[in-house]
């Protein structure tokens, strides 16, 4: 499951976040025990790899919100992560599916400009 953080905005301030879920292979957290019992460890591994990525991106955004990093550093880290994922697709094909769902973030506080970080596609 992939989640993209989407900022709701009011008067230029972020007032909340919602997660937009994208699923492949229909794996969800409550299915892990049954998958394990059925010996489908590859599906669990793929699910966990993508769940860790989702958590990392939420972690980055929280660090922006509490002032530990700025938006520029967050976007640099996201860009570096995307490059790492692209380089790792041959070893971990699930990253290809993850990247297919990738969406670039557009800064809602800057008008008439392109996204902060653009895809390398």
Instruction: Please state, as a whole number, how many other Cβ atoms lie within 10 Å of the Cβ of residue 117.
Output: 19
Distance CA 16, CA 70 (A): 18
Distance CA 118, CA 67 (A): 23
- The domain spans of the chain are 2-100
pTM of the model: 0.68
Model confidence band, residue 112 (pLDDT cutoffs 50, 70, 90): low
The residue among 10 and 118 whose pLDDT is bigger is 118
Model confidence band, residue 1 (pLDDT cutoffs 50, 70, 90): very low
């Amino acid at each position: 499951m992939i989640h993209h953080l989407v900022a709701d905005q009011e008067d230029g301030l972020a007032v909340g976040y919602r997660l937009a879920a994208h699923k492949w292979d229909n794996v969800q957290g409550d299915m892990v025990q049954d998958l394990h019992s059925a010996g489908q460890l590859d599906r669990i591994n793929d699910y966990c790899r993508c769940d860790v990525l989702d958590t990392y991106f939420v972690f980055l955004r929280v660090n922006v919100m509490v002032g530990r990093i700025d938006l520029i550093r967050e976007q640099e880290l996201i860009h570096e992560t995307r490059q790492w994922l692209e380089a790792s697709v041959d070893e971990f094909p699930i990253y290809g599916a993850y990247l297919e769902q990738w969406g670039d973030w557009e800064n809602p506080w800057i008008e008439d400009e392109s996204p902060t970080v653009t895809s390398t596609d």
